[in-house]
Amino acid sequence: PPGPVGLWPLDEADGGVARDTAGGHDGTATGVRWQADGGGAAFDGTGGQIVTDGPVLETGEGRSFTVAAWVRLTAVPGTFATAVSQDSDTGSGFYLQYAHEDGGWAFSRPGLRAVGRTAPAAGVWTHLTGVCDGRTRKLRLYVNGVQEAETDDTGAAPATGAFMIGRASYDGAPADFFPGTVRDVRAFDRALPPAEVGKLV
């Protein structure tokens, strides 16, 4: 099957560029600490981010896509914290995140969330996959390769701005900065079935 349209290993040793080894959508890294031995990009939760020059995915109504990443929280935050998103004029078109109000990992659109049951913990590497199935109009969240949540995608939001790692946007401003480490971020322009999600872990 087709591979990812974007793949950011986040295994850089230094510098301000996060390479996209699949699609050429390199990101500009600011406020990021690169971890040794390919350990990912560490974000401080207050301003660290990786931002591409433009969109990677089509996120509007009827579009299918999948985003995945390994994440590790420094501490469980008292606010929302987003690992991966894509920008628009008003807010992000999707959020792969920690949802503070629900106390769990979530794959979200503006105003709706598919929230998992695995309790997030500090210092633990967790694999998150968010699947948007445009055909069935569903959002699905997988945690460590296992589907934990599904909700109707009634808030399809076209996001034509930058693909972002380490934060989201809300009301046109940066928001939901991620306090922790992220690595191996992948973006697909299709809805991955469960068997393919399992192979990402």
pLDDT by residue for the chain (201 residues), tens only, comes to 899 999 999 999 999 999 999 999 999 999 999 999 999 999 999 999 999 999 999 999 999 999 999 999 999 999 999 999 999 888 899 999 999 999 999 999 999 999 999 999 999 999 999 999 999 999 999 999 999 999 999 988 899 999 999 999 998 899 999 999 999 999 999 999 999 999 999
199: part of which helix (H) or strand (E)?
A: helix 194-200
Q: What is the pTM of this model?
A: 0.97
CA proximity to 19, closest of 180, 145, 130, 185: 185
Residue linked to tokens 């322009």: 189
The domains of the chain, with CATH numbers, are 6-200 (2.60.120.200)
